[in-house]
Structure 1
Amino acid sequence: MAVWFQRIFLLLLVSICASSDFLENSDFESPPLNLPSNASSSDFVLLDQNTTLPGWTFQGTIQYVTSTDMPDFGHAVQLGEDGKINQTFIAKGDVLNYILTFSLIPGGQNCSSSAGLSVSGPDSNAVFSYMHKYSKVSWQSYSHNLGKWGNGEPINLVLESQITDSESNSTCWPIVDTLLIKTVGVTLDQDSGNLLTNGGFESGPGFLPNSAEGVLIDAVPSLIQSALTQWSVIGTVRYIDSKHFHVPEGKAAIEILAGTTPSGIQTAARDTSEGSRYNLTFTLGDANDACIGHFIVGVQAGSAAQNFTLESKGTGSGEKFGLVFKADEAAAQISFTSYSVTVTKEDVLCGPVIDEVNVHLLGGTASVKPTWLLLVFALLYVAVL
């Protein structure tokens, strides 16, 4: 029972750390001040040196978007050539990881190229681009880890356009809307006996309140810089919630999206002993997002590697699998990689869901759900003794 108390405590800790009040005017619903008199008749209003955007400072070409095809999101900003917006907020309390989630919208039609969006904090930077194959709607949610901060430190969040094709004559400039910052503890408690941290993926980026599409996490080779706590990312994965997708356990899981190259996640099982044998267990399923196909997931644990397959009907499923391996070092590498390119009827990339990842010393105490039958056997065993 202690295992489940720990899981409940972890979920409460994660939910307490989520916050949206770090940024002022994070959804751009507070309109710019000193707008030109004819601004109300235009969907895109160019901001100049006489205009003030509440909560934000800006440089270069910035347009305030007064009408989008996202009725739930409303107003937004477009970052044109050399466009940059920034806001400084203050870290609260103890040192925590600050994770940003934001929505990205393509800025035009019939463009020969799309400009990227550079997102950075004081010691972090990443470039994002809208990719049509990742969403059935005209916008996407992305995440970025701004780093570890605390004790009243100022954090300067900077978003700026970045040209990816200098030879293009027609560029779609990025539109940004609805930013959410979530704080996550630097260290997380592990389930009893599980040598992995965040094996249930309950600690990750925040979900935007009006989003039903999950949150995309682009390639992040570092565990420290990843928005998915203690997991690095290869390619692109989707962080999904139980409110809008099928999640085998808890409130969140990972959907691996393999495109032209494989995608996946990787971590390390701590405190393993070289030469000792361990059991890796996990749940493989689908997200109930009409993803129909033959999933092939390559799993590596220490020096052992094996492919696992699942026939998905796209209606929400989950099957438990396991792999016994021998540790070849003190921190055995654990990875899940999808080689299957699967798409929905809307031609959107989808793929296998990974959840409930556990590593236990073979013969040790496993983290299993208590049942009345097991309790009965336990009581009988104690009575015999």
Structure 2
Amino acid sequence: MTIWFHIIFLLLLVSSCVSSDFLENSDFESPPSNLSSNASSSALVLLDQNTTLPGWTFEGIVQYVTSPDLPDSGHAVQLGEDGKINQTFIARGDDLNYILTFALIPGGENCSVSADLSVSGPDSNSVFSYRQNYSKVSWQSYSHNLGKWGNGEPINLVLESQTIDSESNSTCWPIVDTLLIKTVGVTLGQDSGNLLTNGGFESGPGFLPNSTEGVLIDAVPSLIQSALTQWSVIGTVRYIDSDHFHVPEGKAAIEILADTAPSGIQTATRDTSEGSRYNLTFTLGDANDACIGQFVVNVQAGSAAQNFTLQSNGTGSGEKFGLVFVADKAAAQISFTSYSVTMTKEDVLCGPMIDGVIVHPLGGTASLKPTWLLLIFALLYVAVL
């Protein structure tokens, strides 16, 4: 590692911040005013026009939930028919992406259909569904990129149930809990030996404090809108942390979850020369989540494509692989795709883990062409913080 790698890694650290204090009452532990007398029970307490929920405004049918089965073993809100909550917070710092992580829980029992949850910012929107077989607990963590905002700009976060054609008494309306905002710098540094940005997946959504299941990232075709910095997502992947999973390098990695359709991730190189040869290396393994089977991952780099296979015993194995390719254009496409459905004995979807993706020219080391301006920027950024 060069001194420039350490400087750039410092830039990555100081440009990322995980915080729940962007939002007031982000875990809903501050109760609504004018609660009914049975508020301490497991029953749902209907919020009406005479009730306020600290930090939040709401419309439609919104209920305050008290249950030991929630992520924080406390309280949450359920968004019933036309139910909506929103809160406006203020951006801090310039050129930062604001990435939301939240817990989604299905509400009700023996429901014939589950309603979806819409999450949006001023210019972003995604719809989330609780799906069986994505978690061994009764809730799931999801992420959503609220977009890039400048210092002092207001960001209005809106969570709303999606009305569906069904009898209301047979509908599982979504329950939301534990919202967390993470800021990530729009421009991340590169390791001087890598032509990819965020090849180690260290920049992504924040992990909820009580979660051991990672964070699900649904399909996002745009690099700009993705919660996984500089990578678009096909299907669904799980963002995993080294505290609860096998992660070969750093603090985070990606687990690909193929279901009824292929899943994977895709990005593009920087500063490649059309017609020049490059080497792509990566680690393929399992996340130590009891995922047993044969992993087959299709890797495409420029115009080259190859399948890589790993026999997983589910205990945290990993192997480095490589692929030589010729750049077909200045920004060569890099993708990892899995087509095989793999499940644990608990019927939870699992799959191949990808980490440490590096692209460099054959016969040489890629150069960032660093300047003293980068060092000055790093020092100024730290001073501002």
TM-score, normalised by the number of residues in structure 2: 0.92
CA distance in structure 1 between the partners assigned to 2:11 and 2:134 by the alignment: 30
More displaced 10-residue stretch of structure 1: 159-168 or 32-41? 159-168
- SS for the counterpart of 2:202 is coil
The DSSP-based 3-state class of the residue aligned with 1:5 is helix
Distance in 2 between residues matched to 1:104 and 1:76, nearest whole Å: 10
For residues 22-70 of structure 1, give each alpha carbon's deviation from its aligned partner in whole angstroms, at most 9, with x where no partner exists: 0000000000011123433452100000000000000000000012413
CA contact (8 A) 1:88 1:155 kept: yes
CA displacement at 1:9 relative to structure 2: 1.5
Contact 2:266 2:333 in 1 (8 A): yes
Structure 1 residue 190: Cα displacement: 0.3
Judge conservation of contact 1:245–1:288 (CA < 8 Å) in 2: yes
CA positional deviation for 1:340 = 1.5
Instruction: State the Cα distance separating 1:149 from its structure 2 match.
Output: 0.6
Partner Cα separation in structure 2 for residue 42 and residue 340 of structure 1: 41
Paired with 1:186 and 1:211, the residues of 2 have a C-alpha distance of 26
Q: Corresponding residue for 1:206?
A: 206
Give the Cα–Cα distance (whole angstroms) in 1 for the partners of residues 278 and 71 of structure 2: 51
Aligned to 2:139: 139
Change (3 A) 1:42 1:246: closer
The alpha-carbon deviation at position 164 of structure 1 amounts to 4.5
Q: For residue 13 of structure 1, report the CA deviation from its aligned partner.
A: 2.4
Aligned equivalent of 2:291 = 291
Post-superposition offset of 1:133: 1.0
1:193 alignment partner, SS class: coil
The 2-side partners of 1:163 and 1:262 are apart by 28
Instruction: Answer yes or no: is 1:108 the counterpart of 2:108.
Output: yes
Kindly indicate whether residue 181 of structure 2 is the aligned counterpart of residue 181 of structure 1.
yes
2:151 aligned partner: 151
Once the two structures are aligned, what percentage of the paired residues are identical? 86
Rounded to whole Å, the distance in 2 between the matches of 1:308 and 1:103 is: 34
Cα distance, 1:71–1:363 mapped onto 2, change above 3 Å: closer
- In 2, are the aligned partners of 1:112 and 1:169 still within 8 Å (CA)? no
Cα 1:275–1:166 shift into 2, 3 Å: farther
1:48-98, CA deviations, whole angstroms, 9 ceiling, x for partnerless residues? Answer: 000000000000000000124136341000000000000000001212000
8 Å CA contact 2:5, 2:192 repeated in 1: no
Paired with 2:165 and 2:336, the residues of 1 have a C-alpha distance of 33
Match of 2:376 in 1: none
SS at match of 1:9: helix
Quick one: which amino acid aligns to residue 13 of structure 1? V
**Which residue of structure 1 aligns with residue 279 of structure 2?**
279
Report deviation, 1:8. 4.0
Q: Tell me, yes or no, if structure 1 residue 217 matches structure 2 residue 217.
A: yes
The alignment partner of 1:12 has SS state of helix
> Does residue 251 of structure 1 match 2:256?
no
CA deviation digits over 1:208-267, x for unaligned, max 9?
011100000000000000000000000000000000000010000000000011100000
Equivalent residue, structure 2, for 1:13: 14
Structure 2 CA distance for aligned equivalents of residues 147 and 6 of structure 1: 26
3-state SS of 2:158 partner: strand
Aligned to 2:75: 75
The answer to whether residue 178 in structure 2 is matched with residue 194 in structure 1 is no
Retained in 1: the 8 A contact 2:71–2:177?
no
